[in-house]
Amino acid sequence: MKREDLQGLNLLRPAHLMAVGFGSGLAKNAPGTFGTLAAVPFYYLFSFLSFQTYIIVLLVSSLLGIVICHVTAVAMGGSDPKAIVWDEFVGYWITMLAVPFSIQWAIVGFILFRFFDILKPYPICWIDKNVRGGLGIMMDDIVAGISAAIVLHFLIYLYG
């Protein structure tokens, strides 16, 4: 990542630090992939939560993400800077909703989420192009996470 891409970013601000995935989004190449990878240990911790508590974590993380991604994007002077990866965190956590932790399913969920996040099939591509601000940054990854979760749960049903 080029230095000019990080202009306006202040890691001493909690919103900025969270938006860049605690530094994972600062990777020179593939920051979204590194952001998703950084979300995996959190998923492991969340896997011990009840289903209801996990849902609350997702809701709070999503709503908080709309704010912190917007604030950080404005500070950085872009509509969706690549360094912002909180949306990848939340999208991956959505993918893994109600999936008991195992390395196998964590990897499959990772691959599925990255597939939907990178290729952006409809309606993800429409959201990515038409919804702006923090909501837009978050929403395409939320829908990618839902899409990946559907496929993941189908695979778990088939191969358990």
Helices within 47-85 (DSSP H only):
51-76
Consecutive H or E run containing 95 = helix 86-95
Are 82 and 137 in contact by the 8 Å Cβ rule? The answer is no
82-to-29, 64, 130, 160 alpha-carbon distances in Å: 10, 19, 18, 35
Per-residue pLDDT, 62: 98
Domain of 69 in residue numbering reads as: 3-159
Per-residue pLDDT, 1: 62
pLDDT in tens, 46-90: 999 999 999 999 999 999 999 999 999 999 998 899 999 999 999
Q: Is the pLDDT of residue 3 over 70?
A: no
Q: What is the pTM of this model?
A: 0.96
* Distance separating alpha carbons of residues 25 and 85, to the nearest angstrom: 6
Are 139 and 146 in contact by the 8 Å Cβ rule? The answer is no
Closest CA to 114 of 83, 147, 84: 147
Number of residues that this document lists for the chain: 160
4 pLDDT tier (thresholds 50, 70, 90): low
The three-state secondary structure class of 2 is coil
> What's the total number of domains in the chain?
1
pLDDT in tens, 11-54: 999 999 999 999 999 999 999 999 999 999 999 999 999 999 99
